[in-house]
Amino acid sequence: MKPAPEIDVAASAEELAARAAAWIAAKIAAAPKRIALNLSGGSTPKEVFRLLAAEPLRSAIDWSKVEIFWGDERFVPLDHAMSNFRMTSETLLSHVPVPPGQIHPVPVDAASPEKAAALYDGTLREFYGAPTLDLARPLFDVTLLGLGADGHTASLFPGTPALEIRDALVSAVVGATPEPRITMTYPALASSAEIAFLVSGEAKREILRRVLANDAALPASRIETAGALRIFADRAAFGG
Ligand SMILES: O=C(O)[C@H](O)[C@@H](O)[C@H](O)[C@H](O)COP(=O)(O)O
């Protein structure tokens, strides 16, 4: 991981969620106009999103500034139980007034995962306003990432071709089960002013230890950004 991450250790999963939610709210408040949030799926972010959608944070945040993207998605309908968009809608977006035109779901109604990835790649470049990313001007202001027990992040799984992609910003994940997936690639994720991992629970302790030791076999270890890298962990995951 580059740069070395700042590690924020919370006493519990609840405190982790509270700290991450407060951090995100502060980033939105500090943004002069628009802020591009690139969200992760999975279960860990759910409580963070619920806190952002509840008082006091809900009223404290100017949601009109917020643009929402997803770092990965399952190639299922947006109302499918496994959809990251559905999870985010249930916990956050159906409770806060983000302008609908500022919510950018992966186009899972495309003819194939490959087509959905190509379309989302275009969405990102159109939003960015240029065909190629400039290190000095990140695409996202904040990217949230989770950490899988096998060291994956987004849908960048060990040993998969998406890990090696440097020209495309989004890729279909060949062979993902049970549902096909679409993931942002390293260049897209790296184009973030801030990246924050959310890692909770005893089950993540060993994989987090390996990522912090920069075990190059783990996709999460290879996350880089020209900006800031932070890990929100609870004591169960961080140990000590
Ligand atoms: O779509 C997804 O599932 C996520 O993007 C994935 O990368 C997730 O962040 C990790 O698997 C951790 O998931 P948990 O938060 O559920 O442990």
Structure confidence at residue 176 (pLDDT): 82
Q: Which residues contact 114 (CB under 8 A, 6 or more apart)?
A: 172
Structure confidence at residue 178 (pLDDT): 87
The closest residue, in CA terms, to atom 13 on ligand 1 is: 42
Q: Which residues contact 168 (CB under 8 A, 6 or more apart)?
A: 117, 118, 121, 185
CA distance 137 to 234: 32
Q: Which residues of the chain have pLDDT under 50?
A: none
Task: Name the residue of 153, 170, 199 whose CB sits within 8 Å of the most ligand 1 atoms, as the mutation to test its pocket.
Answer: 153
Quick check: ipTM above 0.90?
yes
- In DSSP terms, 211 is beta-bridged to none
- Say if 73 falls within a structural domain: yes
- Say if 225 falls within a structural domain: no
C-alpha 153 – ligand 1 centre gap (Å): 7
Q: Name every protein residue with a CB atom under 6 angstroms from any ligand 1 atom.
A: 40-44, 72, 84, 146-148, 152-154
The closest residue, in CA terms, to atom 15 on ligand 1 is: 44
Instruction: For residue 216, count other CB atoms closer than 10 A to its CB.
Output: 9
- Say if 228 falls within a structural domain: no
- Say if 67 falls within a structural domain: yes
Instruction: Point out the ligand 1 atom lying closest to the alpha carbon of residue 43.
Output: 16
C-alpha 40 – ligand 1 centre gap (Å): 7
Structure confidence at residue 80 (pLDDT): 97
Instruction: Point out the ligand 1 atom lying closest to the alpha carbon of residue 198.
Output: 15
Residues 51/53/56/61 CA torsion (nearest 10 deg): 120
- Say if 227 falls within a structural domain: no
C-alpha 145 – ligand 1 centre gap (Å): 8
Owner of token pair 């806190």: 51
CATH code of the domain in which 95 resides = 3.40.50.1360
Beta strands in the chain (DSSP E): 6-10, 35-39, 66-70, 72-74, 140-146, 170-173, 181-184, 192-199, 228-234
The parent domain of residue 45 ranges over 9-220+233-238
Mean residue pLDDT of the chain comes to 97
C-alpha 147 – ligand 1 centre gap (Å): 6
Instruction: For residue 112, count other CB atoms closer than 10 A to its CB.
Output: 11
Structure confidence at residue 177 (pLDDT): 84
Structure confidence at residue 74 (pLDDT): 97
19, 10 contact by CB (below 8 A): yes
Q: How many domains does the chain have?
A: 1
Condensed to tens digits (0 to 9), the pLDDT of residues 191-219 reads: 999 999 999 999 999 999 999 999 999 99
Structure confidence at residue 22 (pLDDT): 98
194, 143 contact by CB (below 8 A): yes
- Say if 2 falls within a structural domain: no
- Say if 3 falls within a structural domain: no
The closest residue, in CA terms, to atom 1 on ligand 1 is: 41
Structure confidence at residue 240 (pLDDT): 77
Does the pTM surpass 0.95? The reply is yes
C-alpha 141 – ligand 1 centre gap (Å): 20
Structure confidence at residue 151 (pLDDT): 97
